[in-house]
Amino acid sequence: MAVKIIHDKNTCIGCGACAAVCPDSWEMGGDGKANLKDGKADGDNFVKEVPEEGCNMQAAQSCPVNCIHVEKDGNKVI
């Protein structure tokens, strides 16, 4: 199952919850916003394809502004 992680960085307020619950995929950047590790720019978003969602669902659920999205096989999960 293909899993796509999407970060709407413009909406990120830098709360840091994603990096706290899912440091494998998320880290805080010098701009005070989160970085999706190994994410590639896609328009205004950063995206990454991964084989398993891992802790990214927890990261998405913990984000107070819902700027982390997860798609499975092209279907938006969160």
Q: Quick check: 53 and 70 in contact, CB under 8 A?
A: yes
Residue 53's CB is within 10 A of a number of other CB atoms, namely 21
Count of chain residues binding ligand F3S (CB under 6 A): 14
Candidates 10-18, 41-49, 50-58, 69-77 — which segment interacts with ligand F3S by CB under 6 A? Answer: 10-18
What's the min distance (Å) between Cβ of 63 and ligand F3S?
A: 3
φ, ψ (nearest 5 deg) of residue 57: -65, -40
Residues 19-78 that bind ligand F3S (CB under 6 A): 33-34, 62-63, 65, 67-68
Residue 13 in the binding site for ligand F3S (CB under 6 A): yes
Task: Detail the DSSP E strand segments found in the chain.
Answer: 3-8, 26-28, 34-36, 40-42, 45-50, 68-72, 75-76
Binding-site ranges for ligand F3S (CB under 6 A): 12-18, 33-34, 62-63, 65, 67-68
